[in-house]
Structure 1
Amino acid sequence: MEDRKDSELKTFCSRNILIILGFSSIMAVIALIAVGLTQNKPLPENVKYGIVLDAGSSHTSLYIYKWPAEKENDTGVVHQIEECKVKGPGISQYAQKLNDIGTYLTECMERARQVIPESKHEETPVYLGATAGMRLLSIENEQLADRVLTMVTESLSRYHFDFQGARIISGQEEGAYGWITINYLLGKFTQKLTWLYLKPNGGDVQETYGALDLGGASTQITFVPQDKHIESPNNALHFRLYGKDYSVYTHSFLCYGKDQALRQKLAKDIQGTNGTLSDPCFHPGYTTVMNVSDLYEGPCTKRFEMTLPFQQFQIQGTGNFQRCQESILQLFNTSYCPYSRCSFNGIFLPPLQGDFGAFSAYYYVMNFLNFTSEEPPSQEKMIDTMEKFCSRPWEQMKIYFGDVKEKYLREYCFSGAYILSLLLSGYHFTADSWKNIHFMGKIQGSNVGWTLGYMLNLTNMIPAEEPLSKPLSHSTYVFLMVLFSLILVTAVIIGLFIFHKPSYFWKDMV
């Protein structure tokens, strides 16, 4: 009888202990989950903003960037949230109407005031970088270029942002910042650590993309060559980004942007005519009249300048792609090369290496011509398409592309032919390397161009050494903590049960 009571007592105690342990375990799990969820709850947004104005030769664009304030040195966290195209031409065209510059920039700066929270205005840096259009104006009249920048500075300083200055960036800088932008957005500068903290070995380092930039007045090529020795020191740049050294080749061809290249071609071709130019780079039936003085305006056409017996000339389109290319190729001097290998005009060019991102006018022109698919068409297909496109009558073009502004539509034949000539004959891309060119407009929502790289450099957001980073995200850490806690609690319960009821355990084992 006494043994029976003792057995019932033990059973009662064991049951209550298990209930208590079970309840405690459930409460512990609930607490762990609650702590994890609370810890992982997003904090109030703490962000920073930056504004960069790209003052190009043909237009100005304003870009607004945003990034988490606590992650300035992590790759890929800066992204573009707004783009505003300033109405009107490039700022170099305001050299004779300086008082209009303030009004010129007002609409986009007001847009920036609306997009960026007012509490962030005073700490938001504003940068204006002027490119080839202002470089040309500075060559022609440095004092006038300085006055344009002074008026831009006065205009932008009126806003309650942290204005950091307006300056003309060099062609080398433009190429370098474009290269930084592409590779930053593609995540080519850093390697992610594994959760075991294993560093990737040297063979796992990602190969960077080259950058091909085409504007209205200049064009840039920038890439990391296989041979780190660059024969022309003026074309060499050295970066240390995220703990890795990069020896970069870059060159900017001033006057070889698509607009200035067209002016050069016209200035060359008008020689020896009677005032009527039959031009194969314009569609059949297209006609326009141009002043000779306007053609010779600026430094790019000075080498072709001569006294002509007429003040105006007429362009009559004939629409022949092959003849258009022949005329364009005469702009590239390939007869002289003081190095082991050159592009054109005696400029050193190492062997092309890796993939290239082609952006700005490259993308806009090729996108219009439907050449920007993921699988780029072969050279033969592009040439065949261009031959058909250029031969289409102008009246038919205006009807078919009625929504495209005439000043753009009339030049797509020339621009397409110029891009092919520049890439194939100027930079020596071949049938094999052609497939490595990727025409890019945006990467992850951010425009591809020099502006993001410019801001990253000026705000020191790309460190020389790779920042330390945790191998696990916070959510993964919480998940693993909960999982291991459940395993631990289960093990404790089973251990206690075995300790208090060994007979059940041995009975099951038998």
Structure 2
Amino acid sequence: MSAQREMKEKNPWHTPLTIIITVIGVIAIVALVTVAVLQNRPVPQKYKYGIVLDAGSSHTALYIYEWPAEKDNNTGRVEQKHSCKVKGKGISSYAAEPEKAGMSLTECMREAEMQVPSRRHQETPLYLGATAGMRLLNIENREASDKVFEAVEKALQGFPFSYQGARILSGQEEGAFGWVTVNYLDDRLKQGLETTGALDLGGASTQISFVPHEYDISESPSNSVAFRLYGNDYNLYTHSFLCYGKDQVLRMALAHQTRSGPVTMSDPCFHPGYSVTRNYNALYDSPCVSERKPKEAPLNFTHTGVGNFFRCQEVVKTLFNFTSCKYSRCSFNGIFQPPLQGSFGAFSAYYFVMNFLNLTDSSIPLETVKANLANYCGTPWNQIKQQHPEVKEKYLAEYCFSGTYIVTLLTEGYNFTKETFSKIKFIKEIKGSDAGWTLGYMLNLTNMIPAEAPDSPPLPHAGYVSIVTVIALLLFILFILSLRPIWPKCSKKPQIV
């Protein structure tokens, strides 16, 4: 027993001071690593929300967006959480009964109440942006337009969100915000990559927006929008063609073919065997065609289909004016357009029409697209109805015209060639969020995209924790090595006396 006691007394590892230092060192290193891990570990994410109503000419849609609450005005990525299509037509169609415009939004707004956590209701901004349908109504009847907005505002103010107002977007805004949406969702703005052009087709207007390279667009200031996003400057070309959305341009095509006031009209843009009675007053009830109504037209006319893509294309071409251009280059109707640049995303009606026609694959050559359209338009109407019994006949009948118009607009109007046509990608959404102007609109109003590139930590979370852990281990090893002078004493065998 005395020998063992003497061995412990001679062993420096058993001295109180050495034990205390060792324990403190180990505790300090463990604490360092623990604090680093806890401080930087992912925490349950809290979100903020924004709601945008897209009041288009043919319908209204509601979109709910969410983003990390801790990263406002910095690196928080905004994503679409939910969407709701309002039943019925666009709010501009309720000019005679404006109160119904507000009532039509109720069902989707109740969905928004359920989708957004109640604790966030009061701070969630709510916007309504109206596009070409309300632009046309505002031109035709300013008083009716104001009453529609009054009804809409009254309805929206009855919900527990932070209502930020309703207004009509200009065509330039619609095009520019669509471009922002496409490039934001594709992470091109934050990373400073080459941007994608945006092609938007609605019911009453169509927009084209892109950044031309090394081409001066100052000759037409109304088509130029300057952005500074994430530290990069963008000089965007954009133009909106009012009345050239797929619904209004169909009116123009029908007006062109009925300018003499016939009782029967044969239309190459509708299927063989198609026949319907149309009312002249209803056809010309739009600012896009109202001045073209024949003076001695009958009350109705019979609209029959012939189904000829190439003749239909000739009809569509008559809707474009290519004869006058006071700029260095033009698209149509005397509107300035620089040379096309890069790839394009085509969304809204572009996607829905071409998707129905199975022509969204960008690898399909332009000539094949035209051949497929020719075959489709030439298919008898009865056969088309049998193939698509789930589609309303009104919409089903218009796909031949809409497809022909899209191809003609892109090639004859915007000057896409058989080589550049393949650079058009028909898209519905990007990374789970719908393509369109609404996200870009909200990003702009909430300042979610900084002008300058946000600062970022020098190291990612995993790298930071790894370095701290390695340093802690090195310190521990150095601490052990610092006790090396007393190692020989520890290694000596105790002498038993």
TM-score (normalizing by structure 1)? 0.89
SS of the residue corresponding to residue 302 of structure 2 reads: strand
Would the aligned equivalents of 1:75 and 1:184 in 2 still touch at CA under 8 Å? no
Q: Are the equivalent residues in 1 in contact too, given 2:49–2:64 (CA < 8 A)?
A: yes
Q: Distance in 2 between matches of 1:378 and 1:206?
A: 27
Q: Is residue 2:209 matched to residue 1:209? A: no
In 1, Cα distance between the equivalents of 2:132 and 2:288?
11
1:294 to 262, 282, 295: 282
Matched, 1:249 2:237: yes
Match of 2:308 among 303, 314, 320: 320
Aligned equivalent of 2:387: 400
Q: Please say if residues 211 and 236 of structure 2, whose CA atoms lie closer than 8 Å, have aligned partners that are also in contact.
A: yes
Distance 1:404 1:37 in 2: 57
Aligned equivalents of 1:139, 1:82: Cα separation in 2: 33
For residues 105 and 161 of structure 1, the distance between their equivalents in structure 2, rounded to whole angstroms, comes to: 14
Determine the C-alpha separation between the residues in 1 that align with 2:44 and 2:149: 39
Evaluate the alpha carbon distance shift between residue 15 and residue 366 of structure 1 in structure 2; reply closer, same or farther with a 3 A threshold.
farther
Kindly indicate whether residue 175 of structure 2 is the aligned counterpart of residue 175 of structure 1. Answer: yes
Q: CA separation in 2, counterparts of 1:358 and 1:81?
A: 22
Matching of residues 343-382 of structure 1 within 5 Å: 343-373=331-361, 375-382=362-369
- Cα distance change of structure 1 residues 257 and 10 upon mapping to structure 2, 3 Å threshold: farther
1:446 is matched with which residue?
A: 433
Counterpart residue number, 1:262:
250
2:456 paired with 1:463: no
Cα distance change of structure 1 residues 11 and 166 upon mapping to structure 2, 3 Å threshold = same
Q: State the Cα distance separating 1:245 from its structure 2 match.
A: 1.8
Partner of 2:288: helix, strand, or coil? Answer: helix
* Structure 2 counterpart of 1:86: 86
Q: Give the alignment partner of residue 412 of structure 1, picking from 376, 399, 417.
A: 399
Aligned twin of 1:433: 420
Deviation at 1:378, TM superposition (A): 1.4
Does residue 271 of the first structure (1) align with residue 250 of the second (2)? no
After the TM superposition, which of the residue ranges 30-39 and 92-101 deviates more from structure 2?
Answer: 30-39
Structure 2 residues not aligned, in runs of 5+: 492-497
Q: Quick check: 1:175–1:251 contact (8 Å CA) kept in 2?
A: yes
Q: In 2 relative to 1, CA 481–341 (structure 1 residues): closer, same or farther, beyond 3 Å?
A: same
2:12/2:489 contact within 8 Å kept: no
- The 8 Å contact of residues 171 and 251 in structure 1, kept in 2 or not, is answered as yes
Q: Which region of structure 1 is more displaced relative to structure 2, 69-78 or 486-495? A: 486-495
Change (3 A) 1:37 1:277: same
Please give the per-residue CA displacement for 1:279-327, whole angstroms capped at 9, x wherever unaligned.
Answer: 1111222221110001111111134322244211111112111111111
Structure 2 vs 1, CA of residues 28 and 368 (structure 1 numbering), >3 Å: closer, same or farther?
Answer: farther
Change in Cα spacing, 1:256 to 1:32, as seen in structure 2 (3 Å) is: same
1:128-139 pair list within 5 angstroms: 128-139=128-139
Q: Deviations over 1:346-380 (max 9, x none)?
A: 0000011111111111111112222234x431101
| Distance in 1 separating the partners of 2:340 and 2:206 | 16
Displacement of 1:24: 7.1
Distance in 2 (alpha carbons) for counterparts of 1:352 and 1:19: 76
Instruction: Provide the residue aligned with 1:52 in structure 2.
Output: 52
- CA change 1:149–1:136 in 2 (3 A) is same
Does the CA-based 8 Å contact 1:258-1:415 persist in structure 2?
A: yes
Distance in 2, matches of 1:391 and 1:75, equals: 52
Alignment match, 1:141 = 141
> Do the aligned partners of 1:230 and 1:249 also contact (CA within 8 Å) in 2?
no
Report the Cα distance in structure 2 between the residues aligned to 1:81 and 1:467, rounded to whole angstroms.
24
Q: Aligned pairs, how many?
A: 486
SS in 1 for 2:401: helix
- Quote the Cα distance in structure 2 between the aligned partners of 1:306 and 1:11: 118
Q: Is the 8 A contact 1:76 1:184 kept in 2?
A: no
Return closer, same or farther for 1:18/1:245 CA change in 2, 3 Å cut-off. Answer: same
Distance 1:283 1:459 in 2: 48
Change (3 A) 1:159 1:26: same
Counterpart Cα distance in 1 of 2:32 and 2:392? 63
Deviations 1:228-279 (A, max 9, x none): 4432111111122222221111110000001101110001012346321211
Q: Retained in 2: the 8 A contact 1:218–1:255?
A: yes
CA distance in 1, matches of 2:357, 2:75: 34
Write the distance in 2 (CA, Å) between the matches of 1:501 and 1:91: 91
8 Å CA contact 1:320–1:391 kept in 2: the answer is yes
Q: Is the 8 A contact 2:62 2:86 kept in 1?
A: yes
Report the TM-score, using the length of structure 2 for normalisation. Answer: 0.91
Alpha-carbon displacement from aligned partner over 1:417-456 (angstroms, at most 9, x marks no partner):
1110001000001122222211111111111100011111
Three-state SS of the structure 1 residue aligned to 2:289 is: helix
1: distance between equivalents of 2:473 and 2:236? 53
Which shows bigger deviation, 352-361 or 28-37? Answer: 28-37
Q: CA deviation at 1:465?
A: 2.1
Aligned partners of 2:46 and 2:259: how far apart in 1? 62
Question: 2-side partners of 1:266 and 1:189: how far apart?
Answer: 42
Distance 1:496 1:409 in 2: 87
SS at match of 1:397: helix
Change (3 A) 1:316 1:229: closer
CA contact (8 A) 2:259 2:293 kept: no
Q: Which moved more, 1:340-349 or 1:222-231?
A: 222-231
Judged with a 3 Å threshold, the aligned counterparts in structure 2 of structure 1 residues 22 and 412 are, in CA distance, closer, same or farther, namely farther
Q: Provide closer, same or farther for how the CA distance between residues 110 and 462 of structure 1 changes in structure 2, counting only shifts above 3 A.
A: same
Q: Using the alignment, how far apart are the partners of 1:230 and 1:464 within structure 2?
A: 22
Shift of 1:493: 3.1
